[in-house]
Amino acid sequence: MAVYKIEGCQWNCYPDTTVLINKLDIRDQQELDALEKQITLLRGIQAEQETEFVNVDFEFYKSLHKTLFGDLYDWAGTLRTINISKKGTVFCDHTELERLGKLKFQRLASQNYLCGLPDSEFLSEVTELYHELNMLHPFREGNGRTLRLFITLLVRSTGRDINFAECAPDMLIIAAVKAAQGDTSLLRNVFGEIISEKM
């Protein structure tokens, strides 16, 4: 589980813990983390193979979160109702999530989901989109995994490929933090290394 600073740190957690209430009633954080990693990995692979990139809007994005985390949490696919921050990054106010989420996906639709862009422009746009959705951080948990799944589907829909495994997780986190501070150059470099033309 990501270590967030949140309003009411025991929101939706078992009493006197920070372990999220889950469908399997696991109350040990390490056990929950391990199982969550296994389940979301399998669901992510399945989603990459089976999800059609159609009718893509904010509801589609929420559905990806539900696909990944629905086996574990009743609230999977629903927006957080608290404010959160992490490593000095303050994410979108929860009261603005629905409005801003819809706007971001309306803009993406108006850009034809980045299809047909030359590589340099595509790289800039996908970097900005990743940064914006990361700053939205619409869910209580699982934002990074949902975002990476979505970007994978988006990139592949443009005739390109992406492999997040080629980037060290710490590097992606550092790049995202720097982007939150106003410098997206490292994030753009990361995408430049892990996005390729389909063979």
pLDDT of res. 8: 47
pLDDT of res. 69: 98
Region label for 56, one of left (φ > 0), alpha (ψ between -120 and 50) or beta (otherwise): beta
Angle between helices 119-136 and 169-180 (to 10 degrees): 80
Looking up residue 136, the CATH number of its domain turns out to be 1.10.3290.10
What one-letter code names the amino acid at 69? F
pLDDT means over runs of 10, the chain (199 residues): 54 90 97 97 97 97 98 97 90 98 98 97 98 98 97 97 93 95 97 88
pTM of the predicted model as reported, rounded to 2 decimal places: 0.93
pLDDT of res. 169: 83
SS3 (DSSP) at 67: helix
Distance CA 127, CA 162 (A): 13
Sign of the CA dihedral 131, 34, 60, 189?
positive
Q: How many domains does the chain have?
A: 1
- Range(s) of the domain holding residue 47: 5-197
